[in-house]
Copies of this chain bind each other. A is one copy, B any other.
Amino acid sequence: MTLRHAVLAALLSGEYSGYQLAKAFDVGVANFWYARPQQLYLELSKLENDGLISGREVVQQTRPNKRLFMVTDAGLAELAHFAAAGSKPSFIRDDLLVKVQAVDHVDAAPVIAQLDQRALAAAAKVEILDKLLRRFRGDLDEETYLRDGSPIGPYLTCLRGRRFEQEHHDWCVRAAALLRDRATRNGDPAPTSDQSR
């Protein structure tokens, strides 16, 4: 049960509505978790029911009213408890890796196409995260921010996300180039589907 804690942790940086939170989960927060808006709304309801967050209605004229949530003391305690408990090892879980794993036995062309796409997406994500990191830092250089800046948690997770996306990008580019090279050297626009069985 960790979407719960991811939402709690995300709410630490300020009051958010479900909608705003959904936006955040598409950029910054997505470094450590991701969820669709519907899941977030649901989780927010549950959290409020359990008294871990409290919401207040904000009436708006030009837009639909919204509910802003903030973490309660009980919520903080829950987070502290979660932070102190053991955590399971992390691992990649990626469709595309599964496809690459099978690339010796299936048509490589669509896999290469997806690697290209992913590389682009990852590059875009890197830029977004760079922007976020700069916004955190303000005038400070990174070394100084890491030593004294605040908040440090979100900055660190962003940094991790940035590295991850960078690595992902580099790997995609390299793998695509490599598979393309192999395909052309094998002299086929449509690679054979049966090589080593």
Interface residues of A (CB under 8 A from B): 2, 5-6, 8-10, 12, 29-34, 76, 79-80, 82-84, 86-107, 110-111, 114, 118, 121, 146-147, 150-154, 156-157, 159-161, 163-164, 167-168, 171, 175, 178-179, 181-182, 193, 195-196
| A167-B166 Cα distance, complex, nearest whole Å | 11
Task: Let me know if B90 and A102 touch, CB within 8 A.
Answer: no
30 contacts between A and B (CB under 8 A): A6-B98, A6-B101, A9-B101, A9-B102, A12-B105, A31-B97, A32-B94, A32-B98, A32-B101, A34-B91, A76-B105, A76-B106, A76-B193, A79-B102, A83-B99, A83-B106, A87-B96, A88-B95, A90-B94, A90-B97, A90-B118, A90-B168, A92-B164, A101-B154, A102-B153, A103-B153, A104-B153, A152-B178, A152-B179, A160-B171
Contact of B152 with A101 in the complex, beta carbons under 8 Å: no
**Inter-chain contact B34/A146, CB cutoff 8 Å:** no
Instruction: Find chain B residues with CB under 8 A from A154 CB.
Output: 101, 104
Are A90 and B100 in contact (CB-based, < 8 A)? no
Residues of B contacting A181 in the complex (Cβ-Cβ under 8 angstroms): 147
Closest B residue by C-beta to A85? B110
User: Once bound together, how far apart are the Cα atoms of A90 and B99, in whole Å?
Assistant: 13
Among B6, B86, B114, contact of A86 (Cβ-Cβ < 8 Å): B114
